[in-house]
């Protein structure tokens, strides 16, 4: 066996090991996709109508943009920060375990997690078909009651109703949030540094979408303040807020534009990226809570900053008319429950699995 063949076998063995470590994630994604497909088929709905759009977006972001960004950061770090042992650092960057993890993570993103996300969007689009948006009035009233008899957006507008503030909040909510949340997911599935918590992170990510975005949202379906007048007939309650949001109509990252886009998809029965309207609870908040919890495990200071960002996203979701404040509060609680449940259960499951494997060996000896 020559050196090149031996090297190739090392890379292939590392790749098989990395993909094998992700097997539980493939199984969970497959079960969700199969269950979703059966649900959609029973409702005579198209299950993968947005697959092409999502595949294009994910291929660009996770197949091109993110790898280039990571490569630039890696090479820059080695070139600028390391005066010595650069050759060793470059070899480590292309070591079998590192390359295999990158390849396995990319495959996971562009197969199982892509299908998972596409199915989530499809299921979410079917929610109003059963009985419509029944809980907006109740949720808005609860929101008002727990905020001392005032709709919480009025507090925010009393101190920050300004076009510049609106543009900053829109950019953060519609751009920075996506970069932060999805690049974190990318790093977790492609970096060997995340080996100790990758399975737990991605399972928390997936369960958050399913439990918060499907089960709870579908049970207590609401459209949110932006669509309150359209689904209840009461156009006055949030009319002043929507009029203010309308000042960025036609501009890039405008909340008004995105809300009009979603309502048009809903009215026409079409599907697209992000299609499906449901306010309660907030997935936007859920994803930043997820990252605050896991980043807090790595660094208490960064974790504290992330919790500040969680508060900012909750306020932003209210400010932009996407959510009632309780949508964010419930998401925080739900993600905490999922996170702590997996943190307790996964080690026990792993211990029992190891015991089941070693027991026959012990008996045999």
Give 95-109 pLDDT, tens digit per residue: 888 999 999 999 999
- Mention every residue, 6+ apart, whose C-beta is less than 8 A from residue 157: 240, 241, 244, 319
**How far apart are the C-alpha atoms of 143 and 140, rounded to whole Å?**
5
**How far apart are the C-alpha atoms of 250 and 167, rounded to whole Å?**
12
Q: How confident is the model at residue 3 (pLDDT cuts 50, 70, 90)?
A: confident
**How far apart are the C-alpha atoms of 25 and 6, rounded to whole Å?**
30
Q: Is 131 helix (H, G, I), strand (E, B) or coil?
A: helix
pLDDT greater than 70 at residue 11: yes
Better-predicted residue by pLDDT, 193 or 81: 193
* Percent of the chain topping pLDDT 90: 68
- Mention every residue, 6+ apart, whose C-beta is less than 8 A from residue 84: none
3-state percent breakdown (helix, strand, coil) of the chain, nearest 5? 80, 0, 20
Q: What string of DSSP letters covers 43-89?
A: TT--SSTTHHHHHHHHHHIIIIIHHHHHHHHHHHHHHHH-SS-HHHH
pTM for this prediction: 0.90
Q: What pLDDT is stored for residue 168 in this prediction?
A: 97
pLDDT greater than 60 at residue 362: no
pLDDT greater than 60 at residue 271: yes
- For the segment 170-189, the average pLDDT, to the nearest whole number, is 94
pLDDT in tens, 13-51: 999 999 999 999 999 999 999 999 998 888 777 777 788
Residue 331 parent element (H or E):
helix 325-364
pLDDT greater than 50 at residue 312: yes
- For the segment 333-339, the average pLDDT, to the nearest whole number, is 97
Both tokens assigned to 27: 């199984």
Q: What pLDDT is stored for residue 350 in this prediction?
A: 63
**Nearest in space to 242 (alpha carbons), one of 157, 144, 134:** 157
- For the segment 133-154, the average pLDDT, to the nearest whole number, is 96
Both tokens assigned to 289: 């809570």
Q: What pLDDT is stored for residue 91 in this prediction?
A: 75
pLDDT in tens, 69-81: 888 887 777 777 6
Both tokens assigned to 334: 């739900």
- Mention every residue, 6+ apart, whose C-beta is less than 8 A from residue 273: 50, 53, 54, 57, 121
State the average pLDDT for the chain: 89
Q: What pLDDT is stored for residue 363 in this prediction?
A: 53
**How far apart are the C-alpha atoms of 273 and 242, rounded to whole Å?**
23
pLDDT in tens, 348-358: 776 565 555 45
pLDDT greater than 80 at residue 250: yes
pLDDT greater than 50 at residue 361: no
Both tokens assigned to 41: 């088929």
Comparing 92-96, 156-160, 228-232, the range with the smallest average pLDDT is 92-96
């Amino acid at each position: 066996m020559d050196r090149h063949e031996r090297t190739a076998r090392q890379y292939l063995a590392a790749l098989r090991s990395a993909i094998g470590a992700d097997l539980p994630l493939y199984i969970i994604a497959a079960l969700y996709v199969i269950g979703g497909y059966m649900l959609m088929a029973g409702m005579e709905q198209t299950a993968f109508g947005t697959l092409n759009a999502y595949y294009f977006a994910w291929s660009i972001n996770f197949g091109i943009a993110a790898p280039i960004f990571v490569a630039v950061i890696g090479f820059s770090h080695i070139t600028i920060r390391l005066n010595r042992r650069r050759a060793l650092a470059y070899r480590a960057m292309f070591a079998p375990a590192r390359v295999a993890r990158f390849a396995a993570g990319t495959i996971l993103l562009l197969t199982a997690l892509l299908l998972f996300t596409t199915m989530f969007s499809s299921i979410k689009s079917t929610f109003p078909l059963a009985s419509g948006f029944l809980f907006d009035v109740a949720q808005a009233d609860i929101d008002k009651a727990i905020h001392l008899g005032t709709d919480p957006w009025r507090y925010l507008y009393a101190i920050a109703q300004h076009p510049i503030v609106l543009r900053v909040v829109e950019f953060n909510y519609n751009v920075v949030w996506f970069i932060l949340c999805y690049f974190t997911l990318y790093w977790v599935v492609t970096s060997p540094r995340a080996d100790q918590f990758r399975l737990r992170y991605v399972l928390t990510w997936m369960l958050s979408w399913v439990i918060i975005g499907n089960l709870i949202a579908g049970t207590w379906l609401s459209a949110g303040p932006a669509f309150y007048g359209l689904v209840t007939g009461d156009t006055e309650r949030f009319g002043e807020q929507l009029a203010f949001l309308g000042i960025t109509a036609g501009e890039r990252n405008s909340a008004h534009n995105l809300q009009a886009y979603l309502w048009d998809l809903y009215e026409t029965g079409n599907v697209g990226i992000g299609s499906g309207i449901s306010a309660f609870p907030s997935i936007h908040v859920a994803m930043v809570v997820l990252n605050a919890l896991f980043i807090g495990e790595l660094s208490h200071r960064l974790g504290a900053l992330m919790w500040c960002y969680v508060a900012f996203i909750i306020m932003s979701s209210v400010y932009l008319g996407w959510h009632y404040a309780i949508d964010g509060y419930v998401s925080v609680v739900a993600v905490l429950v999922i996170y702590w449940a997996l943190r307790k259960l996964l080690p026990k499951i792993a211990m029992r699995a190891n015991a089941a494997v070693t027991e026959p060996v012990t008996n045999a000896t």
